Chains A and B, each alone.
Chain A
Amino acid sequence: MTARERGRALAAAALTLLLAWLVLYPILLVGVDAARGDAIGAFARRPGEWQALWASVWISLASVALAAAIGIPLAFLFEWLEFPGRKTLGSLIALPAVLPPFVGVIAFLFLYGESGFVARAVQRLLGLTTPPWRLQGAGAILLVHAYSMYVYFYLFTRAGLAKLDASMLEAAQALGAGPWATLRRVILPLLRPSLAGAALLVFMTALGSFSAPYVFGGGFRVMTTQIVASKLNGELALATVETVALALVAIVALALIRRTEGSDVLVALGKGTAPRRRELRRPATRALATVAGWLFAIVLLLPHLTLILVSLVPYGTWTTETLPPHVSLVNYQRLLAEPERLAPLLNSVWMAAASTAVAIAVALAAGALVRRRLPWPWRSPIETLIALPWALPGTVFAIALAATFGVHQPLALRWVLVGTVVLLPLAYLVRNLPLTGRAILAGFRQIDPALEEAAASLGARRWATFRRVTLPLLKPALMAGGSLAFVAALGDFVTSIVLYTYDNRPISIEIMSSLRVNEIGVAAAFGVILMLVSAAVLGVGARR
């Protein structure tokens, strides 16, 4: 072993240990805690626990079905047909992505909730004395999930369709297959990896979803809300058992869906061009497609508009009217002028920025090490540890970190961080690792090693090569991964509600407290700011 190889192995060992301490250790500690205590018995005996676990599973499955039912046909429509407004509508379709989960949920509350615009309008129209419905329970949760998660199916299916080889479809037709047979026997099997990928993403997101069940669940509990409720009740032992149960469901689901993914080889085989878009010719069909498209776009846009409108309502001025009688910018003024209100905004920004910066640094170090033909023992642990937080719901990590850093045992590498401002950004960091890691590791893989060798042969030392060649080539990956991580941390609610303290209370917690005291205008104003910052950051990150 040369000195350089020794240095590399040492760095890899250090990084692996750091990641293991941050990602794996808390999970293992929770597992040990759960297995040791007598909370398992309590968990097994209470029917409520089993109901919540089952609710988590079926809500997630139903979310996959709903998201697929909306996303897949839309993808075919936009990828294969040409109609007026296709491009504009296509760019609107990702709108739900700029709404952080909790903000999306309160937008739905203002829009479709019992005192939301739609309910008020229906009530006024029919002359009812009570609101026509209450937005609560499983149906409400599924509505929010379908709205926010169909995007995954839409994007994955479109990407899969774009990779399809037109000549393969022509071959099927030449062999006598009609449109339906072609769809069933050629297109869908070829799309299988894309669809399985989308299903996995939706299932995991729905399983970890907390905001929608928290706001709309009422008596209907899923595992994530159950865990947080136990934690807030002080039943930490029970919360750890529930956490382990949820983590197990996530891991089993991950393994099952991965198995249905099939191989990508099928798609890579054909290297032809995608089928051309078919122009809709009949005027009636064109008009129908256009109208349907715009109606859909309005439905997509309504939550955003609602949020903006509610943010303009001064406190206490909107009572029974369908639309608010007064609008002003007073909420924004208060938000920026009162230090107490500005603090959450600044807290969220610094915590998101710090956790993203560290997550990028860790991913860069991992990418540089994994790439340099590391001896085999290090390579896959680093990649696995970085990806692990993605496979587990946010609540799991929140509880795990709270349990790990709630005691003082320096020899076991545990310190009391609960109640300090450090723990929440640390949790954001853990959750950000897969986002920056995935983008940056892929970025590293795309760089031709010959480019770095070329730099070396032209006299550039290692650091100069990294600065002048590697880093500029990684820029798109850095921007993409970094923006996703920043937006996720900025809008986080699941980990925040478990780990925040007064001194680092983030925006989502402030929105929740504002809602509690009925300051809906302020809550919405925070939501609008979050939405705009998210959109701007994602927009910058997507630029090439």
Chain B
Amino acid sequence: MTFLALAGVTKQWAHEVTVGPVTLDIARGEIVALLGPSGSGKTTLLRLLAGFEAPDAGTIRVEGEEVTRLPPARRRFGMVFQHYALFPHLDVGENVAFGLHDLADPDAKVRDALALVDLAGFERRRVQELSGGQQQRVALARALAPEPRVLLLDEPLSNLDPTLRERTRRELRALIKRVGITTLFVTHEQDEAFDLGDRIAVLSRGRVEQVGTADALYEQPATLFVATFVGRANVLRGAAARALGAANGHVAVVRPERLRFGGRGVAGVVKERRYTGAAAFFQVEAEGGERLEVLAAPDAARVGDRVQLEAVKVLTFADQS
């Protein structure tokens, strides 16, 4: 059952830069990642949802109610900004209470919201004296306090220490699921999209290339872009592609772990070995000059070995280039 529906949403910036048309159906309580490289239009899409930009065409509906032209203030979408946008002239409690302006007594709600993000008792702290992780949680509490219909997160983890990210990711997902709010978030990192999202929409040049679960994107990428942007991939054209079973004029894509050293297949020489502990990445130069990356057991081959590579699973796409 669709809760949030985007239908043909389009926004034209300059003559050549267009986002959309984007059509996307999101269920109640679902977490959807907007994944794409910079300039792919994912942030524009988030801002269209928040109401900071108005689309040139298309509609956005929540529970059947059209909100396309509704100003942000009346949309009841909560947003967590990339740099959190905490009001520096207000303390933590006042920040969280900002969206509860109409309430006679917002204190109880502020307390609940702060408890939800594990910051009980932080009401009178200044936002400047909080750590990055705490600021992020205040921003989240502030966005959730007015009980919005949809939660939007712009690169929610990009401002955190790398060591903190993984843990925060899990905590954030648990929290959103506990609240049960329908959520969209923007990211350019695959790990983040995989960990946090129920489904992932991959964007490229303003268009949605594919929407699906992490498994589906990895195993059945719909386009060459998705195949190469999500996960590592060897892209082969011409003779090497044909050797792996691709038809004429098609591109073959093989993941490193789907290549195996064996007695048949593409011949080449191991040029480089990068050890990662449980396994190793091997760079193999094929006879045609192509470079292939293979993930295998650390002792599977040595630099300088002449090897043959066979593919366990090959994805093929019509060559657009």
Task: Report if A and B associate in a common complex.
Answer: yes
A469 to B89, CA, bound (A): 8
B76 at the interface (CB under 8 A from A): yes
B142 at the interface (CB under 8 A from A): yes
- Given known contacts A458-B99, A459-B76, A464-B101, A453 and B54 CB-to-CB distance under 8 angstroms: no
- Given known contacts A456-B72, A458-B99, A459-B146, A469 and B87 CB-to-CB distance under 8 angstroms: yes
A475 to B142, CA, bound (A): 24
A468 to B50, CA, bound (A): 20
* Contact between B101 and A450, CB atoms less than 8 A apart: no
Interface residues of A (CB under 8 A from B): 2, 448, 450-451, 453-462, 464, 468-469, 472-473, 475
B14 at the interface (CB under 8 A from A): no
- Given known contacts A448-B85, A469-B87, A473-B89, A457 and B101 CB-to-CB distance under 8 angstroms: no
> Could you give, for residues 84-100 of chain B, a 1 whenever the CB lies within 8 Å of some chain A CB and a 0 otherwise?
01011100000000110
Chain A contact residues: helix, strand, loop or mixed: helix
B83 at the interface (CB under 8 A from A): yes
Q: Which of B50, B76, B89 has most chain A Cβ within 10 Å? A: B89
A473 to B54, CA, bound (A): 27
- Name the residue of chain B whose CB is nearest to the CB of A457: B79
Residue pairs across A and B with Cβ atoms less than 8 A apart, 21 shown, are A448-B83, A451-B85, A453-B50, A453-B81, A454-B81, A456-B51, A457-B143, A458-B78, A458-B99, A458-B143, A458-B146, A459-B73, A459-B99, A460-B73, A460-B99, A462-B73, A464-B101, A468-B98, A473-B88, A473-B89, A475-B89
Enumerate chain B residues within 8 angstroms of A460, measured Cβ to Cβ.
73, 98-99, 101
* Contact between B98 and A456, CB atoms less than 8 A apart: no
Enumerate chain B residues within 8 angstroms of A457, measured Cβ to Cβ.
50-51, 72-73, 75, 77-79, 143, 152
- Name the residue of chain A whose CB is nearest to the CB of B47: A453
Of the candidates B51, B54, B142, the one whose C-beta lies within 8 Å of that of A458 is B142
Enumerate chain A residues within 8 angstroms of B75, measured Cβ to Cβ.
457
A2 to B152, CA, bound (A): 26
> What's the nearest-Cβ distance from chain A to residue B48, in Å?
13
Question: Known pairs A457-B79, A460-B98, A475-B89. 4 more at Cβ < 8 A?
Answer: A451-B85, A453-B72, A457-B77, A457-B152
* Contact between A453 and B146, CB atoms less than 8 A apart: no
* Contact between B99 and A451, CB atoms less than 8 A apart: no
* Contact between A461 and B89, CB atoms less than 8 A apart: no
* A-facing residues in B49-88 (Cβ within 8 Å): 50-52, 54, 71-79, 81-83, 85, 87-88
* Contact between B73 and A461, CB atoms less than 8 A apart: yes
4 closest A-B pairs (Cβ-Cβ)?
A458-B99, A450-B85, A456-B72, A454-B85
Of the candidates A451, A453, A464, A475, the one whose C-beta lies within 8 Å of that of B79 is A453
- Name the residue of chain B whose CB is nearest to the CB of A462: B73
Enumerate chain A residues within 8 angstroms of B146, measured Cβ to Cβ.
458-459
* Contact between A450 and B73, CB atoms less than 8 A apart: no
- Name the residue of chain B whose CB is nearest to the CB of A453: B52
A303 to B79, CA, bound (A): 58
A460 to B146, CA, bound (A): 12
Enumerate chain A residues within 8 angstroms of B88, measured Cβ to Cβ.
473
> What's the nearest-Cβ distance from chain A to residue B284, in Å?
44
A460 to B98, CA, bound (A): 9
A456 to B152, CA, bound (A): 14
* Contact between B99 and A450, CB atoms less than 8 A apart: no
Enumerate chain A residues within 8 angstroms of B79, measured Cβ to Cβ.
453-454, 457
Enumerate chain A residues within 8 angstroms of B82, measured Cβ to Cβ.
450
A468 to B83, CA, bound (A): 20
* Contact between B98 and A455, CB atoms less than 8 A apart: yes
A473 to B89, CA, bound (A): 7
* Contact between A456 and B71, CB atoms less than 8 A apart: yes
Of the candidates B85, B99, B102, the one whose C-beta lies within 8 Å of that of A453 is B85
Of the candidates B73, B87, B143, the one whose C-beta lies within 8 Å of that of A456 is B73
A180 to B54, CA, bound (A): 60
A454 to B83, CA, bound (A): 11
* Contact between B98 and A458, CB atoms less than 8 A apart: yes
- Given known contacts A461-B73, A464-B101, A456 and B85 CB-to-CB distance under 8 angstroms: no
